[in-house]
Chains A and B, each alone.
Chain A
């Protein structure tokens, strides 16, 4: 059986075509040209015609480049010696550490049997009221931050990662700005978290296609740690770069695009990665926090749109704070019934009133007279923005709930909040000197 070929027939985009035999679907090959060696993966077989996507890009690949089929799919080494290490998207060391090669595991493995999952039940505390009170994060959740380019989403990711009590952090960087890579590395280092972190970093300067590997590698490693009982947090930033790499390959392969050039299987591609988030019955867990930048700050753009349908909620980061509207933790109800009696009520009431505040603001902007009710809402909204929404606020959940009651009592009469009488009796700050239910 011949495994080495020297005649490439077509090169288009980052895909090369050649004739070869006994090649299996999704098998890896090494493409060696003057520029060096790159891994490539079989993405289509048609008779003896083989199409390969070249991870380092096809630039400089000549028709006589050597193509050697490896007979296996992409693998990564897995062991505890990964901890503290930094690799490229293709899992080559980026730090000065040794190359690891033992205990190779396949990436992109099969899905978890749904009956082997358990219902997530552990709150992840972040100290951020917009998360802890309003959209509680839960262990094993998959959740992206939707943000326009330029928002501090990487800072937010790092902050949550450091605050969350997890055993292992895996950073999967895609198209990451070099500065952001250094930011992650240094921040994790300063907080003493580097020793429980593994980084797979594809930077904006690396070949585009290579970032396709990052989620699968990061998640395969995470999965193995989780099976060993560890609680793993995976940070994937930026998934829009990943989607754009998919788009590029799809267009090269002349697939019919479904929406703005993205392939029809974008949803399935994203889902197969995000669905790796899991709380295993009798083992550890994987939580995924991602960044999804929104081109044109448009959530109906195919990448955020498809993502929203897959993930268990999303945080909108806008003007440096987490927006109450649109932000959602779908798993919050798994935990917020067990924190404190008033948690859900504070969550709902404060948001409803904040919505009313935004309406009053609109009226104000249009120059309408403010009714006494509007005035109350304006006062409330301002306090909410300063004391709850501001990302510099860092307080535990219980304190945030107390603060919620204090703000409500400062601005409204109990009845105006629509809160159920029994909770008013129990939690409404009496000191405010307001009569309870007449």
Chain B
């Protein structure tokens, strides 16, 4: 029998509740208004009172109102049928909620994440008498493009023997497909669905490995200059309008991974709608199937309940962990982690905790760190490897990176893609700052070439700064050429037209080829009579290279244009005059 309680206070979405029996930290309960129960979570216990944050609008609650505790932590259903779905932060499937409630979200409506009536074609991979343990596959069901592994529940401790296993056939998720007996003689009935508390990492692996393999995003400035590794973490801080969301949308389409979990956390609903509406129509070039089949969306946008924002990132990472356990490569994109941090701040304020910087709670840093720590490459119980790569955007107040969320994040991630207002104002997209950003992961192209290009970018920037002081006439021509080279790399390689079919997505092979050619051009000493000649030459070179970027790599014109580019570089005076 779970505890019950009585509301003693209401302050925004925070309740003070007097309770009668044992309750646990983070236990879920329901606060009742008439026949509607609003889900809430214990966030603090003080004597005979608990503070609970409500995941819904609290209008209409009153002192003396009833609260029922569930005995459970906030958890999520794991099983076949998650892919392709759109959930809110509390993992309600929004399409089925819409069937029930129409245009608006109705508070207190909770729908199972996995449909109970769908049948899945199960094929066992173990037999009676086999020894298994948590995370080991008992069988598989086809889910879209994968063989979805039905695994021994992650919470089961120690080895078990398989007492019963279902024959190949079609089953619904709640149907028992296996019976296991553990060392202590306890019998476990296993279905295709298991629940897992979202705030606790699924820990069911042999070993954690260092992320080293590049994860290709097809964004040149990322893969070449500031790469992301499979199983690594990265962040994208930037002022509003600098391109964080577009960058994540591009990545969610093109990234070379098996599963993408999109956590739309506390930002615009309209942006998620684009993904929801467009992905089913877009073809994933890796599989030839719709992009939606590899995507799960957790959508808790800014006008949805604030407390559920925090839950949404945990729900997202738990789903990512589940697919990683199947040996898949998963990408989790969270936009924006600042909104989640703000939700923590709101809760902390209502609990009257001692505030840290900008009123964020003192534990912000450890919360951020433990979230990113849930990424990583693992060797799984069956010997395969799976990975979660986490990319989070950060929305710093005033666009100033010197604020608590950005700083806490920078301490724990492996790559930093800092977006700059001046680049986005100048429409230099993607507006990743090439001088400020960094990555600890290996590039898809030759690292010496990258080092040379970065050197030129840096020098070019120095020259540009100098030119502001001494003017163009006071700048030596060699410096001017360096500046033009830097501008050339910037406009033909760092900048990329997200809306062009070819330019928009540059595979690793293409980056190797093009960057190799670019590096040769950069290494070519170029001299000009005067700056006007130099400028004319680089305008021409830039123009040709941009055209080149728009040609399919296997087209005849691609080779032809490259020849033309190389020709003018070997004979620069042909352009001037």
Instruction: Identify which of residues 395-449 in chain B touch chain A, using a CB-to-CB cut-off of 8 Å.
Output: 395, 397-400, 425-427
The answer to whether B269 and A418 have CB atoms under 8 Å apart is no
A410 within 8 Å of B (CB atoms): no
The answer to whether A118 and B277 have CB atoms under 8 Å apart is yes
B355 within 8 Å of A (CB atoms): yes
Instruction: Identify which of residues 258-311 in chain A touch chain B, using a CB-to-CB cut-off of 8 Å.
Output: 258-259, 263-265, 267-268, 271-272, 275-276, 280-281, 283, 300, 302, 305-306, 308-310
Which of A108, A325, A362 contacts B468, CB < 8 Å?
A: A362
B62 within 8 Å of A (CB atoms): yes
With a CB–CB cut-off of 8 A, which chain B residues contact A268? Answer: 266, 302, 306, 342, 346
Known: A113-B101, A305-B397, A371-B531. A326 touches B63 (CB 8 A): no
With a CB–CB cut-off of 8 A, which chain B residues contact A112? Answer: 103-105, 269
The answer to whether A114 and B398 have CB atoms under 8 Å apart is no
Known: A117-B273, A344-B499. A110 touches B60 (CB 8 A): no
A149 nearest CB across to chain B (Å): 20
Instruction: Identify which of residues 183-241 in chain A touch chain B, using a CB-to-CB cut-off of 8 Å.
Output: 227
The answer to whether A326 and B346 have CB atoms under 8 Å apart is no
Which of B274, B304, B339, B397 contacts A259, CB < 8 Å?
A: B397
* B 253-285 to A, binary, CB cutoff 8 A, 1 in contact else 0: 000000000000011111011101110000000
Bound together, the chains give a CA A330 to CA B272 distance in angstroms of 14
B454 within 8 Å of A (CB atoms): no
The answer to whether A418 and B546 have CB atoms under 8 Å apart is yes
The answer to whether B103 and A280 have CB atoms under 8 Å apart is yes
B460 nearest CB across to chain A (Å): 15
The answer to whether A264 and B499 have CB atoms under 8 Å apart is no
The answer to whether A114 and B301 have CB atoms under 8 Å apart is yes
A431 within 8 Å of B (CB atoms): no
With a CB–CB cut-off of 8 A, which chain A residues contact B269? Answer: 111-112, 114, 117, 275
A22 within 8 Å of B (CB atoms): yes
* B 77-104 to A, binary, CB cutoff 8 A, 1 in contact else 0: 0000000001000000011011001111
With a CB–CB cut-off of 8 A, which chain A residues contact B128? Answer: none
Known: A255-B349, A309-B395, A369-B471. A114 touches B240 (CB 8 A): no
Instruction: Identify which of residues 267-317 in chain B touch chain A, using a CB-to-CB cut-off of 8 Å.
Output: 267-270, 272-274, 276-278, 299, 301-304, 306
Mark the stretch among A45-53, A172-180, A378-386 that contacts chain B. A45-53
Which of A272, A337, A369, A418 contacts B543, CB < 8 Å?
A: A418
A96 within 8 Å of B (CB atoms): no
Bound together, the chains give a CA A219 to CA B98 distance in angstroms of 22
| Identity of the chain B residue whose Cβ is nearest the Cβ of A330 in the assembled complex | B241
Which of B95, B268, B274, B399 contacts A310, CB < 8 Å?
A: B268
With a CB–CB cut-off of 8 A, which chain A residues contact B427? Answer: 348, 351-352, 355
B345 within 8 Å of A (CB atoms): yes
Bound together, the chains give a CA A125 to CA B60 distance in angstroms of 43
With a CB–CB cut-off of 8 A, which chain A residues contact B103? Answer: 112-113, 116, 227, 280-281, 283
With a CB–CB cut-off of 8 A, which chain B residues contact A325? Answer: 425
The answer to whether B499 and A308 have CB atoms under 8 Å apart is no
A92 within 8 Å of B (CB atoms): no
| Identity of the chain A residue whose Cβ is nearest the Cβ of B12 in the assembled complex | A265
With a CB–CB cut-off of 8 A, which chain A residues contact B472? Answer: 363, 368-369, 371, 374
The answer to whether B107 and A420 have CB atoms under 8 Å apart is no
B48 within 8 Å of A (CB atoms): no
With a CB–CB cut-off of 8 A, which chain B residues contact A23? Answer: 62-63
Known: A118-B277, A309-B240, A369-B471. A25 touches B59 (CB 8 A): yes
Mark the stretch among B214-222, B369-377, B534-542 that contacts chain A. B534-542
Bound together, the chains give a CA A55 to CA B206 distance in angstroms of 62
A303 nearest CB across to chain B (Å): 12
A20 nearest CB across to chain B (Å): 10
A393 within 8 Å of B (CB atoms): no
With a CB–CB cut-off of 8 A, which chain B residues contact A44? Answer: 9-11
With a CB–CB cut-off of 8 A, which chain B residues contact A369? Answer: 471-473
B8 within 8 Å of A (CB atoms): yes
Which of A73, A283, A418 contacts B59, CB < 8 Å?
A: A73
B57 within 8 Å of A (CB atoms): yes
Bound together, the chains give a CA A390 to CA B99 distance in angstroms of 49
With a CB–CB cut-off of 8 A, which chain A residues contact B535? Answer: 371, 373
Instruction: Identify which of residues 501-546 in chain B touch chain A, using a CB-to-CB cut-off of 8 Å.
Output: 531-532, 535, 539-540, 542-543, 546
Instruction: Identify which of residues 91-117 in chain A touch chain B, using a CB-to-CB cut-off of 8 Å.
Output: 108-117
Bound together, the chains give a CA A331 to CA B274 distance in angstroms of 11
Bound together, the chains give a CA A260 to CA B8 distance in angstroms of 32
B16 within 8 Å of A (CB atoms): yes
The answer to whether A25 and B349 have CB atoms under 8 Å apart is no
Bound together, the chains give a CA A405 to CA B31 distance in angstroms of 63
A139 within 8 Å of B (CB atoms): no
Instruction: Identify which of residues 93-128 in chain B touch chain A, using a CB-to-CB cut-off of 8 Å.
Output: 94-95, 97-98, 101-107
Bound together, the chains give a CA A112 to CA B268 distance in angstroms of 12
| Identity of the chain B residue whose Cβ is nearest the Cβ of A109 in the assembled complex | B104
**Residue contacts A-B, CB under 8 angstroms, 25 given:** A44-B9, A44-B10, A46-B8, A46-B11, A46-B16, A47-B8, A47-B9, A47-B63, A110-B105, A111-B105, A112-B103, A113-B104, A115-B98, A115-B276, A258-B360, A265-B306, A267-B339, A300-B399, A330-B241, A337-B499, A348-B427, A352-B426, A371-B535, A374-B472, A420-B550
Q: Residues of A with Cβ closer than 8 Å to B?
A: 21-27, 44-48, 73, 108-120, 140, 227, 255-259, 263-265, 267-268, 271-272, 275-276, 280-281, 283, 300, 302, 305-306, 308-310, 312-314, 325-326, 328, 330-331, 333, 337, 344, 348, 351-352, 355, 362-363, 366, 368-369, 371-374, 415-416, 418, 420-421
Q: Residues of B with Cβ closer than 8 Å to A?
A: 8-12, 16, 57-64, 86, 94-95, 97-98, 101-107, 239-241, 266-270, 272-274, 276-278, 299, 301-304, 306, 339, 342, 345-346, 349, 352, 355, 358-360, 395, 397-400, 425-427, 468, 471-473, 491, 499, 531-532, 535, 539-540, 542-543, 546-547, 550
